[in-house]
Amino acid sequence: MIRFFLSLLFFVGVSVWAAPIFPELTGRVVDQAGLLTPDQKQSLSELSKSIEENTTAQVVVVTLKSLDGYDISDYGYQLGRYWKLGQKDKNNGLLIIIAPHDHKVRVEVGYGLEGEITDAQANDLILSEMVPRFKQKDVYGGIKNTMDEIKAIISKEYQAEPVKEKPHLFYILSIALIPLLVLIFWAGTYYFSKQVMFIFKLTVSLFIGGIVGMLVWIASHLIIISAIAGLIVFVITYFSNKNADFGSSLDAIGALSRSMSSDSFDIFSGGGGSFGGGGSSIDIGNILDGLGS
């Protein structure tokens, strides 16, 4: 029995791969080391966004204060997996990792991009696009040129492919359902007695609130925001009686969908892709010393 527990302990001990503590995926550019200005971050984010729109590939730039004592290649693939970059069925994520204090740079290539961006190509990108500009303290330029090159390489591969369709069937169906429900709601207010009305209103309001919540969740993947949105719509729908203009709740829905499509609502998250250690890293020496925080 003791042996059994000992072997169990052994297994548990082996199982714990000491994983580094990863930064949060706050956007397409995660500048932990403070090497970029807000404008530069914005510009690189837009570039990354345009790559995703054209090719579905997710390219993320990350600057790190520290690698926590890990080898950058060891750190990189685990970070890529942690953030789940790339689309689930394509594994087309790519990470540009810059660790100025550890003197390391790496291009981490997701499983699905290994064919387009080979290790030799990744190595070449770092050596010919990044390093020369980094030497002139032009971090932004180095990253931007690298991303431009990456965009050119993978656009060739994906050109024929249509842009990813975001609104799927459920999305379209629920949008079609809302006017229908509003109509029923309206009709209901004229024909039902007060007691039945209460339950009727509650049900319909809950339903509309729920659908709006779902839609927001599909668009943003943030539970809290979708719950709040759903709740607001529920309250508005419920308290708008038959005399009031029903347009108010429709207005609210309209405003929500507008804000969802605007840039401020571009909440970036990984698409479920995975990494297998492809890519290349290089020791850049002290060329970035003195930059960043």
Partner 1 sequence: MKAIGGILAAVIIGVIVMIFVGHVNNVPKLDESVKASWGQVQNQYQRRADLIPNLVATVKGYASHEKEVFTQVAEARAKVGQMTITPAILNDPKAFAAFEKAQGELSSALSRLMMVSERYPDLKADKNFMALQSQLEGTENRISVARRDYIDTVKQYNLELRTVPGRWVAAILYPDATVKETFTAEPQSQKAPTVSF
Residue closer to partner 1 (CB basis): 130 or 181:
130
Residue closer to partner 1 (CB basis): 128 or 248:
128
Output the six-digit token pair for 49. 């966004």
Alpha helices in the chain (DSSP H): 2-15, 38-55, 72-83, 119-125, 131-135, 139-158, 169-191, 194-220, 223-239, 247-261
Please give the residues from 25 up to 54 whose contact with partner 1 meets the rule CB under 8 A. none
Residue 124 CB-density burial (10 A; 0-12 exposed, 13-18 middle, 19+ buried): middle
At 122 the three-state DSSP class reads helix
Beta strand 104-110 with 275-283: parallel, antiparallel or unpaired? antiparallel
Regarding 6 and contact with partner 1 (CB under 8 A), the answer is no
By CB under 8 A, name the one of 277, 287, 291, 292 that touches partner 1: 277
Residue closer to partner 1 (CB basis): 271 or 278:
278
Residue closer to partner 1 (CB basis): 53 or 89:
89
- Tell the smallest beta-carbon distance from residue 15 to partner 1 (Å): 5
Please give the residues from 119 up to 138 whose contact with partner 1 meets the rule CB under 8 A. 119-120, 122-124
Interface map 176-205 toward partner 1 (x if CB under 8 A)? ------------------------------
Tokens 């960043």 locate to 292
Output the six-digit token pair for 152. 């050119």
Tokens 């203009």 locate to 245
Residue closer to partner 1 (CB basis): 113 or 204:
113
Residue closer to partner 1 (CB basis): 226 or 281:
281
From CA 129, how far away is CA 137, in angstroms rounded? 13
Regarding 112 and contact with partner 1 (CB under 8 A), the answer is no
- Tell the smallest beta-carbon distance from residue 101 to partner 1 (Å): 17
Q: Which residues pair with 60 in a beta bridge?
A: 95
Residues that bind partner 1 (CB under 8 A): 4, 7-8, 11, 14-15, 17, 71, 73-74, 77, 118-120, 122-124, 275-283
